[in-house]
Amino acid sequence: MLKPISIDSSDFPKMRKRGCIYVDKTAYFHKLLTGGNDCFFLSRPRRFGKSLMITTLKAIFEGRRDLFDGLAISQTDWKWESYPVLHFNFLNATTSTVEDFDLLFQTEVKRGITEAGGTYDPQLPATANFMQAIDKLAAKSKEKDNGNGEDKGVVILIDEYDAPVARLLDKPDEAEKIRGKLADFYGQMKDKTGKIRFLMITGVSKFTKMSVFSALSNLMDISFADDFATMLGYTEDELDAFFGEHLHAHAEVMKMDDVAYRAELKRWFNGYRFGSCNPTSVYNPVSIGVNLFWKEPYFRCSWTKTGKVSMLMNYLKRDDFLKVDMESVQNVDESDFDVT
């Protein structure tokens, strides 16, 4: 019997409890957590495993050692201490109006604070509650550690930090208002860095005017770092190690030999490379999961059906990129990925 593939969840604990295939990326996460830096930003396309990474990091910092049996991090010296974790997913705050955003944003911030064990004061704005939560949860972490030494600090995980603005790139005035509100929220962390044990912010693109990069001068952008170029997405070796039987079964359905099947699979889904010098390319993980789950006699173009692509389309239309011959584009710099 083939090991199950999850296509309906990016929740790490749920996947592990279901016994689903989990492509082990925890060696990368251990390297992040022990490399001497605490604040990171990572940009990846939609449906590329960002949320799964965030929920995995959350489980690590909650000390849930049992979920990691057999994974790379379980073979390291990680101490499995428990930290308060503030986890926000701002894809939940995407909307078409500023008024609706205010409500959804407040709801998401309240959820993240209360799930971390904090309290939310409805008389205060979301940003003020966030700042208070960092102070109180950091103090609580010290008490939990018998009050010895300094605060252990809080862990902050922000998924899809740019989604509310990206949703409205075709409405610049509305987008600017929401950008301002988010900039205030992110900018407040500047004075709290001493109480932050670990920070990971993910998004589809880089908005330098969101205050994240100016306020958090210690934020390390690893979007094109060679050491982490394959931290998300699947390499050829990972496909072999984790999906070998599924790949062979799908090849039989498509009436192709394994070599021809893998060449066509690569042509469809292996078009991503995220290292400045690292030449290794990776497969879109959701596309692989969907195609190997259904095993239809053709490859399914699933990316646009499993994620909102409004940000990409609005950006391409706004700057007339649809008329550009991408094969002729040369000398692209990292700054060109700044949507601002």
Model confidence at 80: pLDDT above 60: yes
**Number of Cβ atoms within 10 Å of the Cβ of 208:** 12
pLDDT score at 142 = 67
Model confidence at 217: pLDDT above 70: yes
pLDDT score at 87 = 98
Cβ atoms of 12 and 56 closer than 8 Å: yes
Cβ atoms of 7 and 21 closer than 8 Å: no
Model confidence at 220: pLDDT above 90: yes
Encode pLDDT of 131-157 as tens digits.
999 999 999 876 565 555 566 899 999
pLDDT score at 17 = 97
Encode pLDDT of 173-186 as tens digits.
998 899 889 988 99
Cβ atoms of 127 and 110 closer than 8 Å: no
pLDDT score at 82 = 95
Model confidence at 326: pLDDT above 80: no
Q: How confident is the model at residue 323 (pLDDT cuts 50, 70, 90)?
A: confident
Cβ atoms of 226 and 280 closer than 8 Å: no
Collect all residues with Cβ–Cβ distance below 8 Å to 65 and sequence separation of at least 6. 74, 80
Among 233, 290, 286, 292, smallest CA distance to 262 is for 292
Q: Exposure of 331 by Cβ count < 10 A (0-12 exposed, 13-18 middle, 19+ buried)?
A: exposed
Whole-structure pTM value = 0.90
pLDDT score at 305 = 56
DSSP code of 203? E
**Number of Cβ atoms within 10 Å of the Cβ of 19:** 10
Among 216, 222, 199, smallest CA distance to 134 is for 199
Q: How confident is the model at residue 324 (pLDDT cuts 50, 70, 90)?
A: confident
Rounded-to-integer distance, Cα 73 and Cα 248, Å: 29
pLDDT score at 157 = 98
Q: How confident is the model at residue 8 (pLDDT cuts 50, 70, 90)?
A: confident
Q: What angle do CA 48, 73, 141 make, to 5 degrees?
A: 95
**Residue 256 identity:** M
Cβ atoms of 22 and 72 closer than 8 Å: no
Rounded-to-integer distance, Cα 60 and Cα 65, Å: 7
pLDDT score at 338 = 67
pLDDT score at 309 = 61
Please indicate whether residue 208 or residue 52 has the higher confidence score (pLDDT).
52
Q: How confident is the model at residue 252 (pLDDT cuts 50, 70, 90)?
A: very high
- Alpha-carbon distances, residue 23 vs 28, 70, 71, 82, 264 (angstroms): 12, 12, 9, 24, 22
Please indicate whether residue 88 or residue 1 has the higher confidence score (pLDDT).
88
Rounded-to-integer distance, Cα 321 and Cα 339, Å: 13
Mean pLDDT of 276-280: 92
Cβ atoms of 2 and 245 closer than 8 Å: yes
Q: What is the mean pLDDT of the chain?
A: 89
Beta bridge partners, 284, equal none
Collect all residues with Cβ–Cβ distance below 8 Å to 304 and sequence separation of at least 6. none
**Residue 205 identity:** S
Rounded-to-integer distance, Cα 22 and Cα 33, Å: 20
- Alpha-carbon distances, residue 188 vs 38, 54, 88, 110, 280 (angstroms): 17, 21, 15, 17, 37
Please indicate whether residue 148 or residue 37 has the higher confidence score (pLDDT).
37
